[in-house]
Amino acid sequence: MSADVSDGLQCAIEIIAPQGLKPRLTFHTFNLQPRKTCIEEDCCYDENLQFRENYPESSTAYCGIDISSGNEFTFDSQQVVIYHYRHSSVTTCGWSAGLTFVSDPNCIPTEGGCTLEFNDISTYNWKSAGFDGTTEYPICSTCTQDMTGVSVSVASQMPNTMMYLTSESFNVGTPPVEGECTDDYIQINHLYGRSEKLVASFV
């Protein structure tokens, strides 16, 4: 991520981390106009960079060489706005930084909450935590459902059968980036160590 702001313009970059994560910026370069002496204190008048977690409220302004290569900024909120302003009469090299998402220490995963309902000898309904079809399930929730006992019971009463998973409602996560499902997914563990992760949205 970098910014090359035209003279006299300003830009705002909004970052929203996945649920349970927080954004982190690691700077590679930073070279803006230096501070000036304002009415009562030094200020970043000609050019500045701000991180606004409560946009549009103001925040600390950075300029000159305030930020060194390798400096990290991990934000308290899931959402942050990067605001960059440059006066029309100045030119600088600008800045560049890498963006990553890190675990929120205040987001402690909770185990449990999934339900398994028995319909008949061959049909079970599996639901995520607090599922009612309209509201979202809790952030940082996780649950595990072992179908081993169920499959053994079905096989003993209905031999030569296979298990099928049919979805009536499924809205989990976002499309994977470069093949990786990150923030929200269902993982199915098969025999012999095989597994697969599912993300999609359909009914």
Q: Which residues form the domain of 174?
A: 110-202
Please indicate whether residue 144 or residue 53 has the higher confidence score (pLDDT): 53
According to the model, what pLDDT value does residue 24 have?
Answer: 93
State which of 103, 119, 146 marks the end of a domain.
Answer: 103
Give yes or no: residues 131 and 186 share one domain.
yes
DSSP three-state, residue 128? coil
Entry pTM: 0.53
Give yes or no: residues 59 and 96 share one domain.
yes
Give yes or no: residues 14 and 95 share one domain.
yes
Neighbours of 8 (CB within 10 A): 11
Q: Looking at 36-40, 61-65, 162-166, which range is the least confident one?
A: 162-166
Q: Looking at 38-52, 56-70, 87-101, 148-162, which range is the least confident one?
A: 148-162
CA distances for 56 relative to 79, 124, 174, 201, angstroms: 12, 49, 28, 33
Environment class of 14 (CB within 10 Å of its CB; exposed 0-12, middle 13-18, buried 19+): exposed
β-strand 21-31 against 36-37: which pairing, if any? Answer: unpaired
Cα dihedral value 50, 54, 55, 58, nearest 10? -50
Give yes or no: residues 52 and 90 share one domain.
yes
Give yes or no: residues 93 and 182 share one domain.
no
How far the first Cα of the chain sits from its last, in Å, is 36
- For the chain, how long is the longest CA-to-CA vector? 85
Quick one: average pLDDT of 49-70? 84
According to the model, what pLDDT value does residue 86 have?
Answer: 85
According to the model, what pLDDT value does residue 203 have?
Answer: 45
